[in-house]
């Protein structure tokens, strides 16, 4: 297990011990989104030094942990493809079933290119429904056209 994976386990243990929710941790770190801060604390994004110090204070982490939170991570490390967790697998299933549709509709609207996952925003919310609450995910990524060279 890498030092970053160990830190993720330490963060999850502190979150459980302190009975915290991601939605309460995130605003204590700064003005970023709960999605981004959760991803950072789970090892997928770096925090600024100021955000890392705030995370250390909220989660009872030490200075070495805070420093590690500022380092660029190995994104996607440890991921299994296809994913085996049922919730994560459903996103893989969405890409399998709708990926070509998303591609066709995006290219029809924008041209040949991609939606950035770097210049990107996402939000997750509960949407009440009489037949059972729904998960609402909104994603917005900058369109980046392919260049001829």
Alpha helix (H) ranges present in the chain? Answer: 3-17, 22-29, 34-41, 49-59, 63-69, 86-110
The catalytic residue among 75, 93, 107, 140 is 93
29 with 54: CB under 8 angstroms? yes
Please say if 140 is a catalytic residue: no
- CA–CA separation, 107 vs 29, rounded Å? 37
115 with 142: CB under 8 angstroms? yes
Please say if 116 is a catalytic residue: yes
Please say if 90 is a catalytic residue: yes
The catalytic residue among 17, 75, 90, 134 is 90
The catalytic residue among 9, 17, 23, 116 is 116
Residues with active-site annotation: 90, 93, 116
């Amino acid at each position: 297990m890498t030092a970053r994976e160990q830190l993720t386990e330490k963060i999850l243990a502190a979150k459980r011990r302190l009975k915290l929710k991601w939605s309460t941790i995130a605003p204590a770190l700064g003005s970023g989104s709960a999605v981004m801060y959760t991803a950072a604390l789970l090892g997928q994004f770096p925090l600024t030094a100021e955000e890392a110090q705030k995370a250390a204070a909220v989660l009872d982490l030490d200075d070495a942990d805070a420093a590690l939170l500022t380092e660029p991570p190995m994104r996607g490390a440890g991921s299994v493809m296809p994913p085996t967790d049922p919730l994560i697998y459903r996103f893989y299933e969405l890409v399998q079933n709708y990926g070509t549709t998303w591609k066709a509709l995006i290219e029809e609207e924008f041209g040949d290119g991609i939606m950035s996952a770097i210049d990107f925003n996402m939000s997750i919310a509960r949407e009440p429904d009489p037949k059972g609450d729904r998960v609402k995910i909104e994603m917005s990524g900058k369109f980046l056209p392919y260049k001829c060279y």
